[in-house]
Amino acid sequence: MLVVMNHNAGNEDIDRVVETIREMGYEARPIPGRQRTSVGLIGNDGRVDAGRLEGLPGVREVIPVTKPYKQVSREWKEDDTVVTLPNGTAIGGPEVALFAGPCAVESEEQILGIARRLRDAGATVLRGGAFKPRTSPYSFQGLGLEGLKLLARAREETGLAVITEAIDPEGVDLVAEYADVIQIGARNMQNYPLLRRAGRVGKPVLLKRGMSATINELLLAAEYLLAEGNDQVILCERGVRSFDTHTRNLLDLTAIPVVKSLSHLPIIADPSHGTGVRAKVIPMARAAVAAGADGLIVEVHPDPTRALSDGAQSLYPEQFEELVGQIEVIARAIGRSLVPALHAAGSRG
Ligand code: PEP
Ligand code: MN
């Protein structure tokens, strides 16, 4: 339930609404907006006396939030959420953000080399798994803590922000020590203890759509993060299972405008896992930006044929460079631009 204030309501009116909600035994969350402030009532068990709130000074109306996800919905918050990273990359505003890097961190030489190249090409966020959720227990599982340290070094040297995956609740705090964004992978989209922990960690979270998850399930998974107090959430469409075998997954680009209408949260696209095939990554990356994605997360490896994971879908660095030029044009055609490239090491140019 949402208590919408008049545009000229004062702070004392808002405080009174917050206090009244608390007195009624619920949690209150003020949501400042461009036009007016609203106060969200969390935990509505169907017994809330809306009349008591409607009668308070400064209250314009009390509206039920009809969607099963509450804080994630546009009914709850009309304005787009913009997630801003320490290096200035803003996700969810007018700019399109480029996240790129190898599937997994493999060595110092690999990650530092590719990080410099990606920064020079115009990416502002470096991806790379240190803890890898592999389909087979015999596949490379990642460098773990050493991988996190290498990512932090790459950030120091290049100014790129760092995103990496946490695969279990116990690992969230460690990942948060090193990363600017915590990635929750497709296989873990409905790992509720992991979501709750990530919701309390105080860092932005990228939540990837599960490979068989509906859009409502994705939004409800995100609700776990917001319910714990973390509204710095970026959603990611990374493809769903389909009956066709030409690609690894079916990148559901419809999800982008659908999510945009249902939720205020930013959504980016992962054309790498979304296709699983290098030659299909660039066309789908272009299409995702055209469809309104707030960014891309793309796997790029200095030598894909030798990659320890996902080599078949990893772009060569020069392909990424070419893609950035194309994305720039597409972004401009729809009234957007790319997040400005980083120039001098460790700072924004
Ligand atoms: C990844 O980003 O490397 C990854 C494992 O992705 P997903 O969780 O989407 O499969
Ligand atoms: Mn991968």
CATH of the domain at 47: 3.30.70.1140
Mean pLDDT, range 132-150, rounded to an integer: 95
Q: What is the pLDDT of residue 319?
A: 98
Residue nearest to atom 9 of ligand 1 (CA): 186
Q: What is the pLDDT of residue 136?
A: 94
| pLDDT value at 229 more than 70 | yes
Residue 24: DSSP 8-state: T
Q: What is the pLDDT of residue 202?
A: 94
Does residue 70 belong to any structural domain of this protein? no
C-alpha to C-alpha distance for 102 and 140, rounded to whole angstroms:
14
Mean pLDDT, range 96-112, rounded to an integer: 98
C-alpha to C-alpha distance for 200 and 272, rounded to whole angstroms:
29
- Residues within 5 Å of ion ligand 2, judged at the Cβ atom: 103, 310
Does residue 346 belong to any structural domain of this protein? no
Closest ligand 1 atom, residue 297 Cα: 2
- Looking at the DSSP assignment, which residues form a beta bridge with residue 296? 98, 269
> From start to end of 185-333, where are the E strands?
205-208, 233-237, 267-269, 295-299
Residue 23: DSSP 8-state: H
Q: Are 141 and 131 spatial neighbours (Cβ–Cβ below 8 Å)?
A: yes
Confidence of residue 348 (pLDDT cuts 50, 70, 90): very low
Residue 241 and residue 192 share a domain? yes
Residue 88 and residue 42 share a domain? no
Confidence of residue 63 (pLDDT cuts 50, 70, 90): very high
| pLDDT value at 318 more than 80 | yes
Residue 330 and residue 257 share a domain? yes
Does residue 76 belong to any structural domain of this protein? no
Mean pLDDT, range 173-190, rounded to an integer: 98
How many angstroms does the Cα of residue 171 sit away from the middle of ligand 2?
19
Please give the residue range of the domain that contains residue 263.
Answer: 83-338
Mean pLDDT, range 102-110, rounded to an integer: 98
How many angstroms does the Cα of residue 49 sit away from the middle of ligand 1?
45
| pLDDT value at 38 more than 70 | yes
How many angstroms does the Cα of residue 184 sit away from the middle of ligand 1?
8
Residue 23 amino acid letter: E
Mean pLDDT, range 54-64, rounded to an integer: 95
Does residue 218 belong to any structural domain of this protein? yes
Q: What is the pLDDT of residue 45?
A: 87
| pLDDT value at 75 more than 70 | yes
Total domains present in the chain: 2
Does residue 17 belong to any structural domain of this protein? yes
Place of tokens 């209250």: 59
How many angstroms does the Cα of residue 86 sit away from the middle of ligand 1?
23
How many angstroms does the Cα of residue 166 sit away from the middle of ligand 2?
14
Closest ligand 1 atom, residue 187 Cα: 8
Q: What is the pLDDT of residue 344?
A: 55
With 0.85 as the threshold, say if the pTM is over it: yes
Q: What is the pLDDT of residue 343?
A: 74
Closest ligand 1 atom, residue 239 Cα: 9
Residue 108 and residue 14 share a domain? no
| pLDDT value at 147 more than 80 | yes
Tokens of 330: 């597409």
Burial per residue of 82-93, b for 16 or more beta-carbon CB atoms within 10 angstroms, e otherwise = ebebebebbbbb
Mean pLDDT, range 174-184, rounded to an integer: 98
Mean pLDDT, range 255-263, rounded to an integer: 98
Instruction: Calculate the alpha carbon distances from 253 to 69, 82, 97, 238, 245 in Å.
Output: 21, 21, 17, 9, 18
Residue nearest to atom 1 of ligand 1 (CA): 103
Residue 30 and residue 126 share a domain? no
Mean pLDDT, range 317-341, rounded to an integer: 98
Q: What is the pLDDT of residue 2?
A: 95
Residue 136 and residue 43 share a domain? no
Burial per residue of 17-32, b for 16 or more beta-carbon CB atoms within 10 angstroms, e otherwise = bbebbeeeebebbebe
C-alpha to C-alpha distance for 96 and 296, rounded to whole angstroms:
8
Residue nearest to atom 3 of ligand 1 (CA): 103
Closest ligand 1 atom, residue 129 Cα: 3
Residue 138 amino acid letter: Y
Residue 55 amino acid letter: G
| pLDDT value at 345 more than 60 | no
Mean pLDDT, range 134-155, rounded to an integer: 96
- Cα distance between the two ends of the chain: 44
Does residue 315 belong to any structural domain of this protein? yes
Mean pLDDT, range 306-334, rounded to an integer: 98
Residue 113 and residue 20 share a domain? no
Tokens of 130: 């240190």
Residue 184 and residue 56 share a domain? no
Closest ligand 1 atom, residue 186 Cα: 8
Q: What is the pLDDT of residue 349?
A: 41
Residue nearest to atom 4 of ligand 1 (CA): 185
Mean pLDDT rounded to a whole number for the chain:
96
Residue 158 and residue 190 share a domain? yes
Tokens of 108: 């110092």
Residue 7 and residue 138 share a domain? no
How many angstroms does the Cα of residue 36 sit away from the middle of ligand 1?
39
Interior angle at CA 180, CA 252 and CA 146, nearest 5:
105
Does residue 74 belong to any structural domain of this protein? no
Residue 138 and residue 209 share a domain? yes
Residue nearest to atom 8 of ligand 1 (CA): 185
Report the CATH number that the domain containing residue 210 is assigned in CATH.
3.20.20.70
Residue 55 and residue 107 share a domain? no
C-alpha to C-alpha distance for 307 and 295, rounded to whole angstroms:
24
Q: What is the pLDDT of residue 46?
A: 86
Does residue 186 belong to any structural domain of this protein? yes
Place of tokens 């929750």: 184
Place of tokens 């001098």: 344
| pLDDT value at 347 more than 70 | no
Q: Are 126 and 156 spatial neighbours (Cβ–Cβ below 8 Å)?
A: no
Residues with C-beta less than 6 Å from any ligand 1 atom? 103, 129, 133, 185-187, 208, 238, 270, 273
